[in-house]
């Protein structure tokens, strides 16, 4: 047996939205694509949604599909226009604008946008929106009515386009790939290269423009300035520029700031040019780290924001010239946003499998009442299954593991009856037996003995089994990739195929049994099939309202409705009517869902293929045990005044005497524990910051009350 590292985390960032909306979303924000300053706040575009950081307080807010009209959370770009509008590149979903109040999205389904993936979205002073297509070949303009495309076939633009800025006349100045600087006025294109201008390098790393229409360019040879007529170049040979390899530029209060890199492409630091003097900040003479990724932005107080770390795991730092502050912006400990499998235990604890961030290590996580636990595994993880409500089984790259009472036991071909180390799925029958599906057959484990059913002792061929299910009679059902559906009652085998049933039973991906005993089969390309024990019924995109025949998940909720994950979103089918949840008509953060779970509070938990963990409840998402316990136990307490200055009063009913009042800051850090030994207790939290705090009232090791307070 081996004890694995357990990390306990408490996250409260999404608490307010989770209690007041139909959606909640937990994401990872380590993969950061872009930054943009907006006065006293920094905006961040990440794979897990938009984030803002207050330059003074450090307060973090998340902007997700669950609390905005964003059509997805995978944001690959970000820019701010002069009028304050923020524009986001949304992966596979077009673009979205946020004017500070309202969100407006342009997708392939609601507009004529030519490409669902774009880059470098910029809004000009006259309100035209320009962007570059995902293949970098097309410059796209949207004037509020029409979409126009400019490329090498109808202009003199090159085949590969890059980032651009607007001058005061509305002309575009662009850095192209290996073709220097170009100017485009809507009709004509002018090129500035090393063979016709003093530009330092045809490969430009960044472009900015100042208030006097001077174009500033960076390259690995230095910095160039162009006013439309005259060039000025700054190199380590003709000026006091301290470094040659300049990656990025930023202008703030008429000062030029730049990020430089070492010759190896690593390390780096900051350079400032005030028009006369050059200054350098690096890890030797300042608190900056030794590795800067770039994405330099400067907020209104002059603080410099940038990324450090190694892509794709980035961290935001805030540098004021003397000190450096590191900001963790994720709203959960999820290592990535691709959740492979989920399972819910009897205590309403959700178990998740996530290993996308690191191919050599996998993660088993659990979530309940805003608390996360993370178990690091020594191999990438594939699935999770719960035995007897307390034993957690995981499928790993090199076998299976069992988590029981905090201890993990690993099983593989060397120490057990597992016939192959790659186990694709698992389930448990009503007698507590574990059943495992593998390429070499079906495996039963009763806690002592391993029994393998393969081609040598059964009709089970050597084939890939994608899913396994057990019905109320303990019949085992196996969905295979190439040999249809198998049923095993412990003695006899039956095989159902497309030719024998008339229903699509090729490339089976999912199996699910409903409360009436019907078996639902999801296929990779052919829709779904229902088997009631006698008759087969097929549902696909041709004969029903199923939005796609590519099925990624099946689930049955407490009302016996079938939930279907497809490549186009989620469908719900009650046997007669269809409902749809997409990234555009709901808070669904990603079109692909890999698994569903349903709790007794009617929350629908969804493991998504790129949007993290999503929770949906048409009556309002309820993530707290306390919120439900109030309905049955009717605990009474009062916290006042709100807002408070130094002292806070906590009144509780007599049966809660002996409880604890636990206080957390906005980032989930515990800042105080106070014993409630009287029905009225006055506490004096020692808090350094003003703002919002969250509390739990804990009685007998369970949370029976939660809420928020504000300190003046």
> Hunting for tokens 């690959």 — which residue is that?
76
Q: Is residue 415 part of a domain?
A: no
**Residue 270: is its pLDDT beyond 70?**
yes
Q: Is residue 648 part of a domain?
A: yes
Per-residue model confidence (pLDDT) at position 359? 54
Mean pLDDT of 260-268: 79
- Tell me the pLDDT band of 239, cut-offs 50, 70 and 90: very high
What does the alpha-carbon distance between residue 35 and residue 41 come to, in Å, rounded to a whole number? 11
The per-residue pLDDT for range 674-687, each reduced to its tens digit, is 999 998 899 999 88
What does the alpha-carbon distance between residue 1 and residue 402 come to, in Å, rounded to a whole number? 10
The per-residue pLDDT for range 569-597, each reduced to its tens digit, is 999 999 999 999 999 999 999 999 999 99
**Residue 164: is its pLDDT beyond 50?**
yes
Mean pLDDT of 407-429: 94
Dihedral sign for Cα atoms in the order 161, 164, 167, 169: positive
Per-residue model confidence (pLDDT) at position 161? 97
**DSSP E strand stretches across 188-323:** 189-192, 206-209, 215-219, 222-226, 231-234, 246-252, 255-260, 269-273, 278-281, 292-298, 304-310, 313-319
CA dist list (Å): 308 to 172, 238, 315, 385:
31, 30, 5, 38
- Which DSSP helix (H) or strand (E) runs through 627? helix 625-633
Per-residue model confidence (pLDDT) at position 309? 86
- Give, as one character, the DSSP assignment of residue 82: T
- Tell me the pLDDT band of 94, cut-offs 50, 70 and 90: very high
Per-residue model confidence (pLDDT) at position 668? 63
Angle formed at CA 319 by CA 313 and CA 324, multiple of 5 degrees: 70
What does the alpha-carbon distance between residue 136 and residue 118 come to, in Å, rounded to a whole number? 8
Q: Is residue 179 part of a domain?
A: no
Mean pLDDT of 110-131: 97
What pTM, to 2 d.p., does this model score? Answer: 0.84
What does the alpha-carbon distance between residue 119 and residue 139 come to, in Å, rounded to a whole number? 10
Mean pLDDT of 272-281: 97
Per-residue model confidence (pLDDT) at position 377? 66
CATH at residue 673: 2.60.40.3080
Q: Is residue 670 part of a domain?
A: yes
What does the alpha-carbon distance between residue 549 and residue 551 come to, in Å, rounded to a whole number? 6
Per-residue model confidence (pLDDT) at position 387? 94
Look at the chain and report how many structural domains it folds into: 1
The per-residue pLDDT for range 593-607, each reduced to its tens digit, is 999 999 988 999 999
Residues near 534 by beta carbon (within 8 Å), at least 6 away in sequence: none
What does the alpha-carbon distance between residue 367 and residue 375 come to, in Å, rounded to a whole number? 12
- Tell me the pLDDT band of 667, cut-offs 50, 70 and 90: low
The CB density around residue 610, as the number of other CB atoms within 10 Å, is 21
Per-residue model confidence (pLDDT) at position 180? 97
Per-residue model confidence (pLDDT) at position 699? 83
Q: Is residue 691 part of a domain?
A: yes
Per-residue model confidence (pLDDT) at position 378? 63
The per-residue pLDDT for range 488-497, each reduced to its tens digit, is 999 999 999 9
Q: Is residue 4 part of a domain?
A: no
Per-residue model confidence (pLDDT) at position 13? 37
The per-residue pLDDT for range 344-383, each reduced to its tens digit, is 998 889 999 986 654 556 789 999 887 889 886 667 788 9
Mean pLDDT of 252-265: 90
- Tell me the pLDDT band of 4, cut-offs 50, 70 and 90: very low
**Residue 457: is its pLDDT beyond 60?**
yes
Q: Output phi, psi for 498, to 5 deg.
A: -60, -40
Q: Is residue 636 part of a domain?
A: yes
Per-residue model confidence (pLDDT) at position 1? 32
**Residue 400: is its pLDDT beyond 50?**
yes
**Residue 559: is its pLDDT beyond 70?**
yes
- Tell me the pLDDT band of 107, cut-offs 50, 70 and 90: very high
**Residue 627: is its pLDDT beyond 70?**
no
Q: Is residue 679 part of a domain?
A: yes
Write out the residue range of the structural domain in which residue 686 sits: 626-711
**Residue 635: is its pLDDT beyond 90?**
no
- Tell me the pLDDT band of 263, cut-offs 50, 70 and 90: confident
Average pLDDT for the chain: 91
């Amino acid at each position: 047996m081996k004890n694995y590292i357990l990390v306990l985390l408490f996250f409260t960032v999404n608490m307010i939205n989770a209690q007041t909306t139909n959606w909640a979303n937990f994401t990872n924000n380590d993969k950061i694509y872009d930054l943009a300053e907006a006065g006293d706040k920094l905006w961040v575009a990440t794979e897990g949604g938009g984030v803002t950081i207050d330059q003074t307080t450090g307060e973090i807010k998340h902007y997700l599909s669950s609390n905005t009209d964003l059509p997805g959370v995978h944001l690959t770009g970000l820019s701010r226009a002069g009028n304050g509008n923020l524009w986001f590149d949304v992966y596979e979903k077009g673009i979205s604008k946020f004017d500070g109040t309202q969100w407006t999205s342009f997708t392939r389904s609601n507009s004529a946008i030519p490409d669902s993936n774009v880059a470098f979205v910029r809004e000009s002073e006259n309100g035209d929106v320009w962007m570059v297509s995902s293949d970098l070949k097309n410059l796209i303009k949207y004037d509020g009515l029409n979409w126009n495309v400019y490329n090498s076939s109808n202009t003199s633009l090159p085949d590969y386009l890059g980032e651009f800025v607007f001058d005061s006349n509305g002309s575009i100045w662009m850095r192209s790939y290996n073709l220097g600087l170009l100017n485009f006025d809507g009709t004509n294109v002018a090129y500035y290269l090393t063979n016709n201008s003093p530009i330092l390098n045809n490969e430009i790393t960044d472009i900015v423009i100042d208030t006097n229409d001077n174009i500033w360019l960076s390259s690995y040879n230095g910095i160039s300035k162009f006013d439309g007529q005259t060039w000025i170049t700054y190199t380590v040979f003709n000026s006091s520029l301290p470094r040659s390899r300049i990656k990025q530029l930023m202008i703030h209060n008429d000062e030029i700031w730049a990020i430089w890199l070492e010759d190896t492409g690593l390390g780096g630091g900051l350079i400032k040019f005030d028009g006369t003097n050059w200054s350098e900040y690096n890890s030797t003479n300042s608190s900056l780290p030794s590795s800067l990724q770039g994405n330099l932005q400067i907020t209104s107080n002059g603080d410099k924001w940038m990324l450090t770390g190694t892509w794709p795991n980035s961290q935001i730092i805030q540098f004021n010239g003397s000190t450096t502050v590191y900001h963790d912006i994720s709203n959960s400990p999820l290592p990535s946003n691709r959740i492979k499998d989920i399972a819910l235990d009897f205590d309403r604890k959700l178990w998740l499998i996530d290993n996308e961030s690191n191919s050599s290590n996998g993660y088993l996580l659990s979530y309940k009442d805003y608390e996360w636990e993370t178990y690091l595994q020594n191999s990438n993880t594939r699935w999770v299954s719960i035995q007897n409500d307390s034993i957690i089984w995981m499928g790993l790259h090199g076998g299976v593991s069992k988590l029981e009472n905090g201890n993990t036991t690993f099983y593989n071909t060397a120490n057990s009856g597992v016939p192959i180390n790659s186990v694709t799925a698992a389930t448990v029958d009503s007698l507590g037996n574990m059943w495992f599906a593998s390429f070499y057959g079906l495996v039963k484990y009763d806690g002592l003995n391993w029994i393998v059913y393969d081609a040598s002792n059964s009709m089970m061929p050597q084939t890939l089994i994608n899913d396994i299910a057990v019905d109320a009679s303990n019949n085992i059902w196996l969905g295979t990739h190439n040999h249809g559906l198998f049923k095993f009652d412990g003695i006899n085998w039956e095989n159902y195929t497309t030719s024998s049933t008339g229903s699509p039973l090729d490339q089976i991906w999912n199996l699910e049994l409903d409360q009436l005993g019907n078996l639902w089969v999801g296929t990779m390309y052919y829709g779904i099939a229902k088997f009631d024990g006698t008759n087969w019924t097929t549902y696909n995109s041709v004969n029903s309202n199923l939005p796609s025949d590519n099925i990624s998940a099946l689930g049955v909720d407490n009302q016996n409705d079938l939930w279907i994950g497809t490549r186009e979103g989620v469908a719900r089918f009650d046997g007669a009517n269809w409902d749809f949840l997409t990234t555009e008509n709901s808070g669904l953060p990603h079109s692909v869902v890999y698994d569903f779970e349903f709790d007794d509070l009617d929350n629908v938990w969804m493991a998504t293929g790129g949007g993290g963990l999503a929770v949906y409840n048409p009556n309002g998402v309820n993530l707290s045990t306390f919120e439900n316990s109030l309905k049955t136990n009717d605990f009474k307490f009062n916290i006042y005044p709100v807002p408070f200055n130094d002292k806070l009063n906590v009144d509780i009913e007599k049966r809660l005497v002996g409880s604890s009042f636990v206080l957390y800051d906005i980032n989930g850090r515990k800042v105080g524990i106070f014993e409630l030994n009287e029905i009225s207790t006055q506490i004096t939290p020692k808090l350094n910051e003003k703002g919002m705090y969250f509390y739990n009232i804990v009685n007998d090791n369970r949370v029976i009350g939660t809420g928020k307070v504000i300190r003046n």
